[in-house]
């Protein structure tokens, strides 16, 4: 996590903390309206923009996202106080999880490859000889690239012995693996919801914090305030990003207002055993390979961009699906809230009646700060269900494949895992090739994780990846192996 990302996360968190405090106050509407003014009082120092008024405008937009609204549809004549009241009347969250703060968008220059003044006018002309599209010519002792002919392949950059050719990028566009974010006719970033897989890479990449998640935190707080039975379903990665023990995390969530807490690792055990059975059937049918089905962004990718690989995706549901099913069966009238390391899960739950809301780790962090709950000071409360070591390590890259291997009852060498550790244009190309040819020479069980490192490195995780990974591994080692628990699942 770089310093720019830390600063944008800090800003977003401060808005959420103030918004939660406003909701918990005696006057939600008035205090929500004041958030931009309280954060940037008149004559205050302006750290990022040209003036205090633009800063306030951007903070207003961030508050709108915190209230769960689409910034693109903002009616500027409507005050934040009125939006606060609208958020209380909302029956369902917005189905598209991401939105763009146009006033914060830097309107970056379009991506291009060009020759700098470092060009040495060399005799060999490696850049010209490498270009297959005739896009490079020699003018006045310097190589020049015709942007109309250039395909941005980067071959000339690699060929130049002086590193004189460089590529400028638009951060959000550059990281999007499916081309779902691009400039509109006015030069501002826009998200195409038909293409978007809700991976959230653009949120982390934008150094101006212009891409936002639409929060459901007010919807959740409203359910708690109405004294409803609200159940938290916590992702295995949560253990790595908050201080204190897993048992203290459970008690902290009770203090927030959740009546019960389920570890989604409970469902991970079911997913692993189901995928192992599915894999066995596919081997018997001589299927060439099977991909896992746990990553919500990958499932969106399959649905929107690689439908041809669908026959190779495991029929097993995600750990969240099974955990929510258990929770609703035991508490039919309860409101369920998944606490997630990423934004993609908000798409997954749309068609699942067993899951009502999603709150990510950053939002939980803001909630604990606003309510002044110190997790590390909470008493310990044991989980009723003791998940397996492998289930707790689902959050780590390779963890799903490891769990399926542990649940597998056939010959150990029959499973040949292939780990796709992060979705990008290259790994998506590979997946398309597997689907097209019907074969994967590297192996037969393909684990796909959208985020490099796994869910522990999800785009809504507040802490550093390495430390979080160590905590999750340590927690996993405290459990029993899936092999020992097969008959109980």
Least confident range of 1-10, 159-168, 290-299, 380-389: 1-10
Give every CB contact of residue 246 below 8 A, 6+ residues apart in sequence: 239, 263, 383, 475
Kindly indicate the confidence band of residue 435, based on its pLDDT and cuts at 50, 70 and 90: very high
- For the chain, domains (ranges, CATH) are 3-105+186-215 (no CATH), 112-168 (3.30.70.20), 220-488 (no CATH)
Q: How confident is the model at residue 5 (pLDDT cuts 50, 70, 90)?
A: low
The pLDDT of residue 245: 87
Among residues 130, 111, 84, 243, the alpha carbon closest in space to that of 170 is found at: 111
Work out the pLDDT band at 478, boundaries 50, 70, 90.
Answer: confident
> Does residue 2 carry a pLDDT above 60?
no
Q: Which residue(s) pair with 261 in the sheet?
A: 232
Give φ, ψ of 363 to 5 degrees: -70, -40
Q: How many CB atoms lie within 10 A of CB 333?
A: 7
Each residue of 66-105: pLDDT tens digit? 999 999 999 999 999 999 999 999 998 888 899 999 999 9
Contacts of 334 (CB under 8 A, 6+ apart): 228, 229, 230, 231, 259, 260, 327, 328
Question: Is the confidence at residue 15, as pLDDT, over 60?
Answer: yes
Decide: helix, strand or coil at residue 32: helix
Pairwise CA distance, residues 71 & 64, whole Å: 7
Average pLDDT over residues 162-184: 94
Query: Is-contact 342 297, C-beta < 8 A?
Result: yes
Query: Which of 26, 25, 22, 53 has its CA nearest to residue 37?
Result: 53
Any bridge partners for residue 476, and if so which?
none
Do 142 and 115 form a contact (C-beta atoms < 8 A)?
yes
More confident residue, 98 or 7: 98
Could you tell me the pLDDT band of residue 373, with boundaries at 50, 70 and 90? very high
Is pLDDT of 403 > 60?
yes
The length of the chain is 489
Cα–Cα–Cα angle for 142, 143, 147, nearest 5°? Answer: 135
pLDDT of 485 over the 90 cut: no
Over residues 168-185, mean pLDDT: 94
Task: Indicate the pTM of the whole model.
Answer: 0.91
Helix axes 52-66, 3-24, angle to 10 degrees: 70
Q: For 321-353, what is each residue's pLDDT tens digit?
A: 999 999 999 999 999 999 999 999 998 998 899
Return the pLDDT at 293: 85
Give 105-109's long-range contacts (Cβ < 8 A, gap of 24+): 105/188, 105/189, 105/206, 105/208, 105/210, 106/207, 106/208, 106/210, 107/183, 107/186, 107/187, 107/188, 108/170, 108/171, 109/168, 109/170
Q: Which residue has the higher pLDDT, 387 or 219?
A: 219
Beta strands 136-139 and 142-145, pairing class: antiparallel
DSSP strands (E only) in 275-369: 290-291, 335-340, 357-360
Token pair for residue 232?
Answer: 């938290």
Among residues 165, 163, 140, 142, the alpha carbon closest in space to that of 152 is found at: 165
Q: What is the pLDDT of residue 66?
A: 97
Q: How many CB atoms neighbour CB 48 within 10 A?
A: 13
pLDDT band at 6 (very low <50, low <70, confident <90, very high): confident
Average pLDDT over every residue of 150-161: 94
CA separation for the pair 342, 201 (Å, rounded): 10
Q: In this model, does residue 449 exceed pLDDT 60?
A: yes
122-136 exposure pattern, b = at least 16 Cβ within 10 A, e = fewer: eeeebbeeebeeebb
Q: Residue 168 above 70 pLDDT?
A: yes
Q: How confident is the model at residue 487 (pLDDT cuts 50, 70, 90)?
A: low
Q: In this prediction, what percent of the chain has a pLDDT beyond 70?
A: 97
Residue 482: the pLDDT is 67
**pLDDT score at 211:** 95
């Amino acid at each position: 996590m770089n310093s720019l990302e830390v600063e944008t996360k800090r800003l977003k968190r401060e808005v959420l903390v103030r918004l939660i405090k406003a909701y918990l106050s005696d006057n939600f509407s008035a205090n929500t309206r004041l958030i931009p003014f309280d954060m940037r009082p008149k004559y205050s120092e302006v750290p990022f923009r040209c003036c205090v008024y633009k800063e306030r405008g951007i903070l207003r937009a961030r508050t709108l996202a915190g209230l769960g609204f689409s910034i693109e549809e903002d009616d500027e004549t409507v005050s934040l106080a009125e939006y606060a009241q609208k958020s209380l009347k909302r029956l369902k969250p917005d189905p598209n999880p991401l939105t763009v703060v146009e006033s914060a968008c830097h309107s970056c220059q379009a991506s291009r490859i060009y020759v700098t003044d470092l060009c040495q006018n060399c005799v060999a002309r490696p850049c010209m000889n490498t270009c297959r599209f005739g896009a490079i010519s020699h003018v006045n002792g310097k190589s020049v690239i015709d942007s109309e002919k250039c395909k941005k392949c980067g071959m000339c950059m690699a060929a130049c012995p002086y590193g004189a050719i460089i590529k400028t990028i638009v951060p959000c566009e550059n990281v999007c693996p499916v081309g779902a974010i691009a400039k509109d006719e006015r030069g501002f970033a826009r998200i195409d919801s038909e293409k978007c897989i809700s991976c959230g890479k653009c949120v982390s990449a934008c150094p101006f914090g212009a891409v936002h998640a639409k929060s459901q935190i007010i919807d959740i707080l409203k359910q708690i305030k109405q004294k409803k039975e609200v159940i938290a379903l916590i992702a295995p990665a949560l253990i790595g990003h908050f201080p204190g023990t897993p048992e203290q995390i459970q008690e902290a969530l009770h203090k927030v207002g959740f009546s019960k807490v389920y570890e989604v690792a409970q469902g991970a055990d079911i997913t692993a055993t189901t995928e192992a059975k599915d894999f066995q059937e596919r081997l018997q049918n001589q299927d060439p390979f099977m991909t896992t089905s746990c990553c919500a962004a990958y499932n969106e990718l399959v649905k929107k961009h690689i439908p041809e690989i669908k026959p190779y995706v495991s029929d097993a549901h995600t750990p969240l699906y099974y955990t929510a099913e258990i929770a609703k069966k035991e508490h039919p009238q309860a409101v369920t809230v998944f606490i997630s390391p990423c934004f993609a899960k908000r798409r997954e739950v749309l068609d699942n009646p067993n899951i009502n809301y999603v709150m990510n780790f950053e939002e939980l962090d803001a909630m604990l700060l606003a309510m002044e709950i110190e997790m590390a000071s909470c008493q310990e409360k044991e989980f009723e269900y003791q998940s397996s070591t492998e289930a707790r390590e689902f959050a780590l890259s390779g963890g799903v494949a490891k769990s399926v291997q542990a649940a597998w009852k056939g010959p150990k060498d029959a499973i040949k895992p292939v780990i796709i550790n992060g979705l990008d244009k290259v790994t998506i190309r590979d997946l398309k090739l597997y689907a097209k040819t019907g074969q994967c020479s590297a192996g037969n069980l393909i684990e796909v994780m959208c985020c490099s490192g796994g869910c522990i490195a999800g785009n809504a995780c507040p802490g550093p990846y390495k430390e979080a990974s160590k905590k999750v591994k340590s927690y996993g080692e405290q459990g029993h192996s899936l092999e020992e628990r097969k008959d109980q699942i």
